Structure 1
Amino acid sequence: MDRSFKDAALVIIGHGSTQNPQSSKATLDHADDLRQRDLFAEVRVGFWKEAPKLDQCLEGIAAETIYLVPNLACKGYITGEVIPAAMGLTGTITERDNKKLVLCDPVGTHPLMAEVLADRACSIITEHGLHPDHTCLILVGHGSSRNRKSAIQTEAVAAKLAEMQLAADVRTAFLEHPPLVNEWHNDTAKGNVIVIPFMISNGLHGAEDVPRLLSLDPLDPALIHLAETGTPAGPFERHGRQVWYCRAVGCERRIADVILRQVESASRI
């Protein structure tokens, strides 16, 4: 049974976007899920790039303890600089105005993320009768030429998936640095390829950029159905392989459980 935090509030922090409303949908969905569980006195959201903004989302919260969970893939610039500056945080725990603000680790760093990804990969492997020896799982991260933290976290999760032996070949690919997504077919010889974005929202990167780099059309009915329902798209025949494409892992319903686990971990500090 989930632990109750009825005397505390939860604020889920997302990136947000001024251009793509889908960027915030996953964060809003997880907030709705956790509200329905009635575990917190209040559940809110706050965003860097859209309303409600980080410097406004705490206004009017009555609870004395407020847990802040970044709905992000890794620690980095946003968790280390943007969130603290916008919300006036002085560390993991900030006490002011008779409130205790607890900054939790981002969802992408929790061990449960590997299980969420494994469940999605297994659903495709089982439904289509894929043999692990002939299957490659590619985890796609954003990456950054300036900060390796995103790549490091993606690689760490990929390593855990490899240990599970779901597929004989588990690899990473990135948007901004090698190994690049559009070179995937040069990196594996397996006939079955499952691609899952290690991203938190199904914004432009997950819905358009990654598919195009895989030579998939974002307007393909199967990809539109994927965005609407979460049902993996494929198989597509590309470079002599069978390719399945999944939506960003951050859209999976179990991410609400990951958010709760991050709160539970932070409550023990």
Structure 2
Amino acid sequence: MMSRVKRWLTGESEARDVVVILLITLLVWEAGVRLFKPEPLILPAPSVIVAAFLETPGVFMRHLGFTVAMTCIGFVLSVVLGIALAVGIVYSRFLERTIYTLLVALNSIPKVALAPLFVIWMGTGPEPKVAIALMLAIFPIVIDTVLGLRSVDPDMLYLARVSKASSWAILTKIRFPCALPSLFAGMKVAISFALVGAIVGEFVAGSRGIGFQILVAQGQFDTIRVFVSLLLLGLVGTVLFFLVDYAERWVLPWHVSQRGRHSRSTER
């Protein structure tokens, strides 16, 4: 066990770097609070926040689980629907002029302004949270996937057409593999947006979730519980981002970005 810990501490690990940065941030925060002694209503110490979480961990984890579930469902739906829309936009000028323009227009509207409509249309259950998460997450996926599908070498497409490859074969064996790096770039942005969308949905109409916990704590001027919720959201958002990043490494070990990352690690 100790040898594994030693290898983790001395080896190259992004997870270790993140943990170290978070610990340093918390230590500086704790030291600053103890030194300057602000009112707990303004800025509580990390030790106080952790103690508040440990008082009722089950409550926080239950609400956090609901928020994560809404986030993941919205994110998965945005990936599936976003890829389908991107393919349609690339292959259809009509969809490019209609759907693409509509997505740009919707992305320009503040989602908080649209959230009440989703509550009116879908009620106060999980559906509006998933819908808002989907709406926020789908835009970067569509944009980056369209870019990736259009970034194929024209000579490669010409060779495929000369070889009488079908449109399906060109899409699945040439365009889509070339678009995967761009798709994962969009997914990294989308997973954070999906989490924001789920929280927005809980702010507007929710009886569960971390967003609902923040609203309740705000109404009671309970700053400590607000910070507990915010730290949990920051932790979950970081974990979800790195899960997508690790999935990218697993799917695209051949891509130049991954080879470059590996070469930098070996140089150190």
Q: Normalised by the shorter chain, which TM-score bucket? A: under 0.3
Bigger RCO of structures 1 and 2 (CA < 8 A, at least 6 apart): 2
How high is the TM-score relative to the length of structure 2? 0.25
Report the structure, 1 or 2, having the larger helix content.
2
Report the structure, 1 or 2, having the larger strand content.
1
How high is the TM-score relative to the length of structure 1? 0.25
